[in-house]
Copies of this chain bind each other. A is one copy, B any other.
Amino acid sequence: MKIALLQINPLVGDLSGNARLIADGACEAGRQGADLAVTPELALVGYLPRDLLLSEAFVARSWEVVAALARDLINQPPVLVGLPEPNPSDAGRPLFNTAVLLHEGEIGPRFRKSLLPTYDVFDEDRYFEPYHGAQILELGGRRLGISICEDVWNDRDFWKRRRYHHDPIEELIRSGADAIVNLSASPFSVGKYRRREEMLGSMARKHRVPVVYVNQFGGNDDLVFDGRSLAFDADGTPIARGRSFGADVVICDLEHGAAIAPAGDVSAESEIWRALVLGTGDYVRKCGFSHAVVGLSGGIDSALTAAIAAEAIGPDQVLGVLMPSPYSSRGSIDDATELATRLGIRTLTLPIEPAMRAIESTLAPAFEGRPRDVTEENIQARIRGNLLMALSNKRGALLLTTGNKSEISVGYCTLYGDMSGGLAVIADVPKTMVYRIARWLNETRGRRMIPEATLTKAPSAELRPDQTDQDSLPAYDVLDDILQRHIEQHQPADEIIADGFDPDTVRRVLRMVRQSEFKRKQAAPGLKVTDRAFGTGWRMPIAAKLES
């Protein structure tokens, strides 16, 4: 049996557009002789649709569209399509997370998701009722066990701790499934790809059945989906793999598939770069923009952000804005200019001193007798935010925010200032990784994209004379290590200190993290690349008091 994995990039809510993507894939599957085509999870509405699912009209419309799609595909192989289904019972949550078989012009059998992820960025218990019972699709002499995304993520032999009490795959096998098909929408994070491949391979081996897994690709708000649909034979050997971060129609032959080579460059630097390029390009495009604006400080964060933008939407579509102040060094201006030349993006220079003077003299009577402090630094950042947003408004270009994860973690950034923008491109990338990606870029591109001075000078916000980041923060390698332990591994202060870190530093860093919740609450969406990002998967109270 040949199965076609339709690795598409749906636009959330765009039922007709997504139906076209599915139809195109199904026709290609037909041309290639597939016996069945399979979309990703909830492909018709795009994952994740969030509270669009609370609109009964939207869900009803998706069934009209899928019925029309079935008619359009009457001459194609059967297609399993993911979409939300109203729960007909008078008790329970309003929907099922469903896949329907489109076959011979009709909507055929339905298959419903059993395990509903409700952690990190996922909220499926908010919308969906879990379904219990094995769901087999009999087709071409095979008994295909149909599962949806999380259904494959609860194997007792693979995970130390399981979030659910039953294993839908075990149940499918007990009901006689001789292959497992999985419709997924599994967001990217660094290293997750390997975990996925290991888990699915071990599942095939354990049950001695082929496993077929279809993932969407593309950026949807803060999430990037990496594609890389997979198929394994009954030995757990990979026999097909979809493109990473791109569209694909992957044909796999369950009986006659041959082993394929391992994936290519999956270094963290390469993976994050590609995810951010895809996520940025899709956000710009899916929000209806074609141009972007980036403030260029001459520092590493704005340099990497601009490089990502130039790669994602083309250098012609990116405007770099230099906004020097009296505290800006000559080097910063030169570095920003050189970066723009290397990337091939246009620049504009808007000095902020006149606005600084106007605002400071307006405030002078109110500030009389009070010393200069961080207030005056924030004023500068907010003038820059105002100028950038004015360019964004006037030109209809999306402003990209340049803050990294380290500074957003500890609040070393100005709300309504450098935090302004529609998308925070590197918000989930720690500062040390920002440097690693920039160096990797220079090494692999055959030309230096990021100026050497930007890579080697001491990081500085340049908001007062001779300022450097390390006046306020621990060295970035120490800071990032503490942050990674605390944020991603949930380590409390005691444990981090016990691992040899300076107690005062650890407590100060964790206090800064807590005290900047109010900033993150108003931050732009940031592209998620680690296992725990700020944003939709980070839900902390603001008005709270914690023992340190």
List CB contacts (< 8 Å) of A87-131 with chain B.
90-93, 118-119, 123, 125-126
Residue interface bits A29-64, CB-to-B below 8 A is 1, else 0: 000000000000000001011111011111001000
Whether the Cβ atoms of A518 and B383 lie closer than 8 Å is no
Residues on B with beta carbons closer than 8 Å to the beta carbon of A23: none
Residue A168 is within 8 A (CB to CB) of chain B in the complex? no
Residues on B with beta carbons closer than 8 Å to the beta carbon of A335: none
Whether the Cβ atoms of B286 and A545 lie closer than 8 Å is yes
Contact residue among B118, B394, B416, B492 (Cβ-Cβ distance under 8 Å from A118): B118
Residue A451 is within 8 A (CB to CB) of chain B in the complex? no
Whether the Cβ atoms of A524 and B522 lie closer than 8 Å is yes
Give the complex CA separation of A11 and B358 in angstroms: 42
Residues on B with beta carbons closer than 8 Å to the beta carbon of A498: none
Residues on B with beta carbons closer than 8 Å to the beta carbon of A525: 521, 542
Residues on B with beta carbons closer than 8 Å to the beta carbon of A389: 378, 382, 415-416
Whether the Cβ atoms of A221 and B542 lie closer than 8 Å is yes
Minimum CB–CB distance from A533 to chain B (whole Å) comes to: 13
Give this chain's copy count: 2
Q: With A394-B373, A524-B522, A545-B286 known to touch, is A359 a contact of B378 (CB < 8 Å)? A: no
Residues on B with beta carbons closer than 8 Å to the beta carbon of A354: 358, 361-362
List CB contacts (< 8 Å) of A489-547 with chain B.
490, 492, 494-495, 518, 521-525, 536, 538-547
Residue A463 is within 8 A (CB to CB) of chain B in the complex? no
Residue A219 is within 8 A (CB to CB) of chain B in the complex? yes
Give the complex CA separation of A362 and B352 in angstroms: 8
Residue of B nearest to A356 (CB): B358
Can you list 5 A-B contacts with CB-CB less than 8 angstroms, sorted by A residue number?
A11-B543, A287-B518, A351-B362, A354-B358, A415-B420
Give 12 A-B pairs besides A118-B118, A385-B416 with Cβ atoms closer than 8 angstroms. Answer: A13-B541, A13-B545, A52-B540, A90-B160, A118-B126, A220-B541, A287-B518, A354-B358, A378-B389, A382-B386, A416-B420, A536-B539
